[in-house]
Structure 1
Amino acid sequence: SPLPNLPLPVKIHTRVCPPIVFERYGREAASDRDYVDACYERVMTEMQQELDKLVLSTS
């Protein structure tokens, strides 16, 4: 596969975040659209917060 379009040399910063644990899982949880939407919002919010922290710590 082609390499990503990154100017070299480049610094790449990573962070390992704590796991996001959900109260429910399995087919029943997956078929509950409101629960899935809430999980999606939680993941998006937590990931954005971590990305914001990463940007602040590296700038």
Structure 2
Amino acid sequence: MSESSVVQISAVTGWIIGISHVKDSGYQCWVINPDLDVLSDGTLYSTSSAAMSAGRAFVERFS
């Protein structure tokens, strides 16, 4: 299992968007929805801003 750390958290009404850095791999986004489900697209991004953009797009689409 790869070592990872949370590098950024953002909140939108009812949602939390998080970005983790996976050592030697990249950044991944995950969201917590209003039902408290934790969701991830499983994609590794080269920058934290790209991962955050993906998380925001997900929230905009499903909220």
TM-score (norm 1): 0.34
Counting helix residues as a fraction of each chain, which structure ranks higher?
1
Structure number, greater radius of gyration: 1
Counting strand residues as a fraction of each chain, which structure ranks higher?
2
- Of structures 1 and 2, the one scoring higher in RCO (CA 8 A, sep 6+) is 1
TM-score (norm 2): 0.32
